[in-house]
Amino acid sequence: LGRLFGGADRTDICQGALGDCWLLAAIASLTLHKETLARVVPNDQGFDRSYAGIFHFQFWQHNRWLDVVVDDRLPAVRNRLVLLHSASNNEFWSALLEKAYAKLNGSYESLKGGSTLEAMEDFTGGVGETYETKSAPTDLFNIMKKAYDRGSMMGCSIDVRAQTASGLVKGHAYSITGLEEVNYRGKKVKLIRIRNPWGQVEWNGAWSDESREWNVIDSSEKKRIFQNSMDDGEFWMEFEDFKANYDKIEICNLTPDSLTDDTKRKWEVNMFEGNWIRGSTAGGCRNFIDTFWTNPQFKLTLLHADDNNDKCSVVIALMQKNRRALRKEGLDLQTIGFALYEAPADEDHLGKDFFRYNGSKARSKTYINVREISERFTLPPGNYLLVPTTFQPHDEADFIIRIFSEKAAGTMYDIYMLFISYDTDRSGKMSSYELRIALKAAGMHLNTKLLQLLGLRFADENYDIDFDDYLTCIVRLENMFRVFQALDKSKTGQVNMNILQV
């Protein structure tokens, strides 16, 4: 009798006839995180008396979790599964998960070829980062170890498909399942554990299953890092050999915290949705200045500097929607990127001349045909304009943008909604007498003297304040608070300034 679960682990993932090693590498990583696995594969189901021939799975899609239900029929030949299966051929959660993910994306056929990071994000709702091993930071091992310790999911791959003499397969996705340091002949050696989703074909160089290096390692040390010599597709290798043989590392972080420092932050997220439509909003990249300005434009206000900095940490992630499901219509991933500009507060949609004469303050490193591109920036507080684009004009797609900031990043919509809650007659203005409570609602508590000065500065002759002036007031106050806090190093609430600082 088959089982749904028998203690889900990496040996339950063996690739079948489908070219979806990228997905299987992500599933293998998923088994390392039991809470996340239980979210994707709810463990309150099985072949008991309540069994009804169906199973349900949950996937993150475009900032929400979807429940996908499948029946219990699986492709088989001569009573053996032909696609994803467990090593025992008697446990079915992984095969049913593959089927549910195929349903989510339209078909099994749609799963051929992909990025491990794509599936990792769909299992977690996390934020992806990619490193090229040949141009990675010098502390790459520490970055990856920190990611592993924080519960991030990781995969790696080698360009161009072919099996090398060392047992590694080019053009193939692998899971990263561990990083450790061991004592070897008086020195520390950095090791990385990798799993081939085929369930076989392993590295045969230094630190492989039967290599002589293990002969001088204490048995307790081998037990600590779970070293074994089984032909299960999983193996250790020295980190320097890993960098020499693998080309790309994909990391899916469950939070946007940087892997290059130890700071733990509370992240806020804002989301935009949009589309590029031929003849309307598909303007292409900045190379096409005559149409670039027609791309969707999103205003973003970074109000608060980080707690330990005078700038704002922000992660921007641009994701194409539903492209895998659209393959059956002959559509594939577009080549995408984005640029961020310092924005004037009084413009709704900026025209060609603005982009002709103003450079971007930040942008994606490259344009690339992946589902999601993400970048990390530190920027001064202020108003910004985000322009997501395809590389070529007239290329169509739907997209979402996730913006993570350490302190709440106010979208223009958020600030506008706050403003109109005090614009009771919908005149586009609010009374200066309500400025105190409107600023308090924005998180600013001011004394009467300062409120009087703000009223004199921003109110018109009828004691009204329009939205542009309200926004300018908020941004300038934020900058004032930021400068004051930087000068008030002893946190006394008082600062001494010379005439030049004033």
Classify 327 in phi/psi space as left (phi over 0), alpha (psi -120 to 50) or beta.
alpha
Judge whether 304 counts as a catalytic residue.
no
Judge whether 21 counts as a catalytic residue.
yes
Q: Do 394 and 282 form a contact (C-beta atoms < 8 A)?
A: yes
Question: Tokens 């999911």 map to which residue?
Answer: 153
Alpha-helix runs per DSSP H in 20-74: 21-30, 34-40
Would you tell me the crossing angle of helices 412-420 and 467-487 to the nearest 10 degrees? 120
Q: Do 194 and 234 form a contact (C-beta atoms < 8 A)?
A: yes
Question: Tokens 């900058």 map to which residue?
Answer: 479
Q: Which residues contact 273 (CB under 8 A, 6 or more apart)?
A: 62, 398, 399, 400, 401
Judge whether 285 counts as a catalytic residue.
no
Q: Do 301 and 294 form a contact (C-beta atoms < 8 A)?
A: no
Amino acid present at 60: W
**Token pair belonging to 94:** 């992984």
State the catalytic residue, choosing from 172, 285, 304, 383.
172
Task: Report DSSP letters for 372-385, one per residue.
Answer: EEEEEEEE-SEEEE
Q: Do 54 and 41 form a contact (C-beta atoms < 8 A)?
A: no
Q: Which residues contact 165 (CB under 8 A, 6 or more apart)?
A: none
Residues facing residue 128 across a β-bridge: 252
Q: Quote the CA–CA distance of 296 and 282 in Å, as a whole number.
A: 8
State the catalytic residue, choosing from 14, 21, 156, 312.
21
Rounded to the nearest 5°, which phi and psi values hold at 140?
A: -55, -40
State the catalytic residue, choosing from 105, 196, 295, 383.
196
Q: Quote the CA–CA distance of 449 and 458 in Å, as a whole number.
A: 15
Sheet holding 397-405, edge to edge: 268-276, 397-405, 312-320, 372-379
Catalytic residues: 21, 172, 196
